[in-house]
């Protein structure tokens, strides 16, 4: 996906999350969201912290809140810990202030990404939660977070879900790109093996992906395993919102080839770093 298209999708998804916030009933912000243990306002607090950090690192500055968390925790950093800490420091702020903070942070991030020179776009890397990340993938990861957490807020506020092709597609794409990393976290490795993911409907696409780190399967290689079905179902699994067993039982996804590999992928795929 070229730069202009990716940034356009990011702007659209930021605006769509803004509309979700606008239409959420005022009394829903202290209600429980679809994220276990988080209120709807906590979801936005999490996004505010992450987007502020993203704006800073893309703009060439240190991520101030990442640094503050490290100083408070013996120079250690872990993602779940930071998320809870960032929510905690905003817990007593009015929800409206937290929402405004997120909007400013998201806009600054998009402006910083747009200011990256064309000749640096493909190769520029910045520090992030699990090491350095390419700017284009950081943009994609923010789209992923905005869509997933936007759906969390919608559910928590009693609003209907709002599927859209590009954010669903990018959730699936990110989950597939991260497969060797996600499998490695579970102590699994499938060097020399590959997977075909063929998804239909909104957010659909086709990926033939190597399951070993930095492996790209030859074009004529037959996949060792495959996953087929509805793109929206795969996105919810990759977003860790629905269990693999559930979508398989409902028939929204089917697996084939080496089913042990395919099942391991569905059980461990993730579209973001935890």
pLDDT in tens, 62-76: 999 999 999 999 999
pLDDT score of 204: 98
pLDDT tens-digit readout, 113-164:
999 999 999 999 999 998 999 999 999 999 999 999 999 999 999 999 999 9
pLDDT of 128: 96
Question: DSSP of 176-222, one letter per residue?
Answer: HHTHHHHHHHTT---TT-EEEEEEESTT-EEEEEESSTT----TTPP
- What DSSP state is assigned to residue 54? H
pLDDT of residue 77: 96
Q: What is the pLDDT of residue 121?
A: 97
pLDDT in tens, 33-63: 988 899 999 999 999 999 999 999 999 999 9
Using an 8 Å Cβ cutoff, are 7 and 15 in contact?
no
Its CATH class, for the domain covering 170-268, is alpha beta
pLDDT tier for residue 1 given thresholds of 50, 70 and 90: confident
pLDDT at 36: 85
The reported pLDDT for the residue numbered 218 is 94
Residue 274 pLDDT greater than 80, yes or no:
no
Sequence-distant (≥ 6) Cβ neighbours of residue 249 within 8 angstroms: none
For position 209, what pLDDT does the model report? 97
Residue 75 neighbours by CB distance under 10 Å: 9
Alpha-carbon gap, residue 39 to 88, rounded angstroms:
12
Whether residue 174 is predicted with pLDDT greater than 90 in this model: the reply is yes
Count CB-CB contacts under 10 A for residue 167: 28
pTM: 0.95
DSSP string covering 76-116: ---HHHHHHHHHHHTTTS-HHHHHHHHHHHHHHHHHHHHTS
- Is CATH 2.40.320.10 correct for 3-161? no
Cβ neighbours of 272 (radius 10 Å): 19
Domain with CATH 3.30.1050.10 in the chain: 170-268
Delimiting residues of CATH 1.20.120.450 domain(s) in the chain:
3-161
pLDDT in tens, 210-262: 999 999 999 999 999 999 999 999 999 999 999 999 999 999 999 999 999 99
Of the chain, the percentage scoring pLDDT greater than 90 comes to: 97
* pLDDT greater than 90 at residue 273: no
Residue 143: predicted pLDDT: 98
Q: What local confidence, expressed as pLDDT, does residue 130 receive?
A: 87
Cα 220 to Cα 169: distance, rounded to the nearest angstrom: 25
């Amino acid at each position: 996906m070229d730069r202009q298209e990716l940034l356009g999708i990011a702007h659209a998804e930021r605006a769509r999350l803004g509309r979700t916030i606008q239409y959420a009933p005022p009394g829903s912000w202290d209600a429980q969201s679809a994220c276990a243990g988080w209120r709807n306002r906590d979801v936005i607090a999490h996004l505010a912290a992450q987007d502020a950090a993203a704006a800073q690192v893309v703009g060439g500055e240190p991520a101030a809140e990442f640094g503050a968390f490290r100083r408070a925790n013996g120079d250690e950093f872990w993602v779940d810990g930071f998320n809870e800490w960032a929510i905690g420091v905003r817990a007593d702020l009015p929800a409206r202030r937290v929402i405004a903070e997120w909007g400013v942070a998201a806009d600054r991030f998009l402006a910083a990404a747009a200011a990256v020179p064309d000749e640096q776009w493909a190769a520029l890397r910045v520090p992030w939660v699990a090491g350095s990340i390419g700017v284009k993938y950081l943009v994609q990861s923010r789209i992923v977070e905005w869509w997933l957490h936007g759906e969390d807020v919608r559910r928590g506020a009693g609003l209907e879900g709002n599927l859209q092709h590009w954010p669903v597609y990018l959730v699936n794409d990110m989950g597939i790109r991260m497969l060797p990393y996600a499998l490695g976290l579970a102590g699994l490795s499938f060097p020399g093996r590959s997977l075909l993911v063929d998804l239909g409907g909104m957010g659909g696409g086709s990926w033939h992906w190597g399951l070993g780190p930095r492996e790209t399967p030859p074009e004529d290689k037959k996949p060792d395993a495959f996953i087929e079905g509805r793109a929206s179902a795969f996105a919810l699994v990759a977003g860790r919102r629905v269990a693999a067993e559930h979508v398989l039982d409902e028939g929204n996804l089917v697996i084939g080839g080496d089913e042990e590999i395919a099942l391991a992928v569905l059980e461990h795929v993730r579209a973001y770093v935890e």
